[in-house]
Chain A
Amino acid sequence: MSSPSHVRAKWAAIAGAPLLFAAIAALQVRIDAQTRSEAQEEEEILLRSGSAVKKLSLGYDSLLANIYWTRVVQYYGARSGKDGATFDLLWPLLDITTTLDPKLVVAYRFGWIFLSETGAAGPDRTDLAVALLKRGIAANPDDWRLNCDLGFLYYWRVKDYPNSAAAYLEGSKKPGAALWLKMMAARVLEKGGSLETSTMLWSELYESTKEPSIRHRAVQMLRGLKTLQDELYLDDLAEQYQKRFQHYPASTRELRDAGLIGGIPVDPDGYPYVFGPDGKSRLNPRSTVVVPPDLTNQPAEPK
């Protein structure tokens, strides 16, 4: 009945190998559980110098830049929007990426957005964002889009309109620059942070990119800006209503019934606006529109 020993050895291997591998995997999980904290510490200190990484890349720096850029995206993506998250490595990683490949434009164009995000979304380091874009412009002097981004950064986050206008103007002089840059330079200087200017900037940003995350962001901003514009208009109408009826309207329907508006105005989600007891219009509680906090205290005075 007994089969030859080499046949038995074969079956023993077929049956035994998966079991042993399962044991090995289980053991690795245990080892990882013990060493995880150490590994994270290690990540914090490994190779902060971009030029050292560049030397060690043996000429394959361009590929390494892509890998570091992917790390930036993964690093930011894993932390953005999480409470208590820190972004300590964001700048070093961007620094290494752009040192390895100074012509990796995408790293500047998204890096400044990551750096300048506020709250749980980012580290709120507009200073580093400005530095990153300036480095990008120096390394890619023909790329007007980076000037555009710098203008936008100054306008939106720093609210430094003269610098914003200067950035747009510089970009407008570069070959192939979009025509609206020149116009924008004048407009930013003249009207500062007006809603029309903001709307126009975000519209241009939406038009100029195919990147879904940026487009999504622009749509959110434009929805917020549209809401702000609506609210300002409705607040104005509410004042007129109050003058006529000595009380604020409780709903937009009362404005319509009073003949001040032709229909029921709705927010970008399709919900009608509501009024508070102070006569200020606001979003329907069910609406998903987010009004950007740094635009609600408009208009800011140009410095």
Chain B
Amino acid sequence: MSATPGIVAINTFREAVRDRVLYNLVFFALLMIGAAILVGQISIGIERLVIINLGLTAISIFGLVMAIFIGVGLVYKEMEKRTLYSLLAKPIRRWEFLVGKYAGLLLTLCVNTAFMTLGLAAALFYVGRPFVRSDASILAAVYFIVLELALVTALGLFFSCFSSPMLSTLFTLGIYITGVFSKDIRDVGELTNVSALKTLTRVVYYLVPNFHNFNAIAVVAHGDAIPFSLIWQNTVYAVLYAGVVLLAASAVFSGRNLK
């Protein structure tokens, strides 16, 4: 494997890190986690629970916002501003560029998630409770969020290979929401007697990414452990799905005539 995607990835990371929008998002996420402390005080008995819930939700939502809004612009911006022209004249294959862009954004998201997780740990520490073994499962939930972001980023990148950021955002959000509801879609099909509909909803169920798999917030908020089997299954699921999407993105992008 050549070093090319790595070079592109590091530059993508540098681009993201120099974007002020990113800091605003992280700042708001940390603000939200801080606000959880206040919510805990006007409620009863959920001081710690609400910090974990709000913290993980903030990490997930702000991560999604970053993944989608940066992800759909990654390739499009380079095409639109023609920065890609001088780059692709270098010995870089198009798929290497794409994978590099993807890896760079993923690196950015991981670093941001790490910062927000530190914020969550600080908030938990502030409400004065020593860390216990079951808190390790919070890290597992964070890991699931990262897997989810890896999938969403791949989707955003795929759409941005052939459509405008606006449309790509809509497509990515659409697939995300469908993926969250995929179980309900299948259940609708199971309830009918129309076999065509039943088949259709089953196809949709297995075709769209099942984002439900990656939601462990409720489980870890109550201090329950996440089984190891779920961790590896989710990992393989995310890797396979993101791999397929990146493969498709490479195929589309490699065949494209740049404007």
Contact = CB atoms under 8 A, between A and B. Distances in A.
Contacts of B60: 60
Given A59-B212, A62-B217, A106 B53 contact: no
Contacts of B184: 55
Contacts of A106: 44-46, 49
Interface string A96-112: 00000101101001100
Contacts of B45: 106, 109-110, 211
Interface string A57-72: 0111111011101100
Interface residues of B, number: 25
A213 B44 contact: yes
B53 A62 contact: yes
A9 B53 CA distance: 47
Nearest to B218: A62
Given A58-B177, A73-B43, A106-B45, A66 B212 contact: no
Interface in B42-72: 42-46, 49-50, 53-54, 56-57, 60-61
B14 to A, nearest CB: 32
A104 B57 contact: no
**Interface band, chain A:** 20 to 34
Interface string A261-299: 000000000000000000000000000000000000000
B197 to A, nearest CB: 20
B172 to A, nearest CB: 14
A16 B215 CA distance: 50
B217 A60 contact: yes
A109 B44 CA distance: 10
B180 A110 contact: no
Interface of A: 55, 58-63, 65-67, 69-70, 73-74, 101, 103-104, 106, 109-110, 211, 213
Return the 9 tightest CB-CB contacts between A and B, nearest first.
A106-B45, A62-B218, A70-B43, A63-B53, A66-B50, A63-B57, A59-B215, A103-B222, A62-B53
Interface of B: 39, 42-46, 49-50, 53-54, 56-57, 60-61, 177, 180-181, 184, 211-212, 215, 217-218, 221-222
